[in-house]
Amino acid sequence: MTSFETRLSNWREIFSDALASHIQECYLGEDLVTQATRYALLAGGKRVRPLLCLLTNEALGGKLPQAMTAALAVEFIHTYSLVHDDLPSMDNDDLRRGKPTAHKVYGEAQALLAGDALLTDAFGLVAGSGADASIDSQAKVAMVRELAAASGSQGMVLGQSLDLYWTARTGAERQHLDQIHERKTGRLLGCSAALGAIAAGTSPDVVQRFRSFGERLGLAFQIMDDLLDESTATGKSVGKDKDAGKLTYLAMMSPTAARAAAENQSKLALAELSGIVPKNSDLELFAHWLLKRTF
């Protein structure tokens, strides 16, 4: 393990501890929806979005407490989207993060409600009195707007709708594929970086640079996800997207071309950091790590 991978593991542990503490405080009930919510949050995963938020905040000289609430909120949004995407009415998947999906354990109705709870609670986190006191009300409003724009009708919801539309359908072009993943994946990664920048107290122009950085990184991340669709290391059903007739990058290009496209998107993403973040910062190394991941 490299020194960066060690630091990344430490960051992941810091976030996991904060998440566990929040769950202990807010999700101790034994009613079914609370059980399903807790199950989804504790299922593990790469924690890419909260790490991106925390590393952005660190790169800009921010303090950890200022970004942790935002990091939790963005993971709540991401987890809600996974719970809903896995439902029989959506992608109908049985496995997520190496474990049975929430609806396989708790039933479709309870999983749907758990997703609703996570989505709603995410906004309560960044807007509520529990958010770090050093973040002023204007910054909290900006965070709420970022989450809403990334997850709403022009963000992840639209991305999922387009994904469903193009499943097992012919006639799609590259622009349609990019439109899906700019919204379904890119917007929330862009939001994650923007939240870290807002928590650090930066200007709107800098927030926009980091939003663009995250969105481009999101496309690179999704292309790599398509390349890993056949891998058992991802914790998802092997080859599920291909078998379902999903519109993927490998349906339009060779693995070599797809990897080149991911590298190009990553390069464009890193260009957004020029003059703001020092070369070889942990944030930049994180972007490179995403391209080399095997899970």
The pTM of the full predicted model, rounded to 2 decimals, is: 0.93
> pLDDT per position in the chain (295 positions), as tens?
789 999 999 999 999 999 999 999 999 999 999 999 999 999 988 999 999 999 999 999 999 988 999 999 999 999 999 999 999 999 999 998 889 999 999 999 999 999 999 999 999 999 985 555 567 889 999 999 999 999 999 999 999 999 999 988 888 899 999 999 999 999 999 999 999 999 999 999 999 999 999 999 999 999 999 998 765 555 555 556 666 678 899 989 999 999 999 999 999 999 999 999 988 899 999 999 998 887 7
Question: How big is the chain by its Cα radius of gyration, in Å?
Answer: 18
Burial of residue 188, with CB atoms counted within 10 A of its CB: 0-12 exposed, 13-18 middle, 19 or more buried: buried
Number of domains present in the structure of the chain: 1
In DSSP notation, 189-237 reads: HHHHHHHHHHHTT--HHHHHHHHHHHHHHHHHHHHHHHHTTT-GGGSS-
d(Cα 130, Cα 138) in Å, to the nearest integer?
A: 16
DSSP state of 265: H
Tokens in use for 202? Answer: 């930066």
d(Cα 45, Cα 98) in Å, to the nearest integer?
A: 9
DSSP state of 280: T
Q: Residues 146, 127: contact at Cβ < 8 Å?
A: no
Tokens in use for 292? Answer: 């080399």
**What pLDDT score was predicted for residue 170?**
86
Give the alpha-carbon dihedral of 264, 267, 271, 275, to 10 degrees.
Answer: -170
- How many residues does the structure list for the chain? 295
d(Cα 174, Cα 65) in Å, to the nearest integer?
A: 41
* Residue 288, CB-side half-sphere exposure with 13 Å CA sphere: 9
Residue with tokens 């009300």: 137
**What pLDDT score was predicted for residue 239?**
58
**What pLDDT score was predicted for residue 97?**
80
Tokens in use for 33? Answer: 């929806």
In DSSP notation, 106-156 reads: H-HHHHHHHHHHHHHHHHHHHHSTTS-TTS-HHHHHHHHHHHHHHHSTTTH
Residue 95's H or E segment, with its range, is strand 95-96
d(Cα 226, Cα 237) in Å, to the nearest integer?
A: 13
d(Cα 13, Cα 6) in Å, to the nearest integer?
A: 11
Q: Which domain holds residue 241?
A: 3-292
Q: Report the CATH number that the domain containing residue 133 is assigned in CATH.
A: 1.10.600.10
Q: What angle do CA 249, 265, 8 make, to 5 degrees?
A: 100
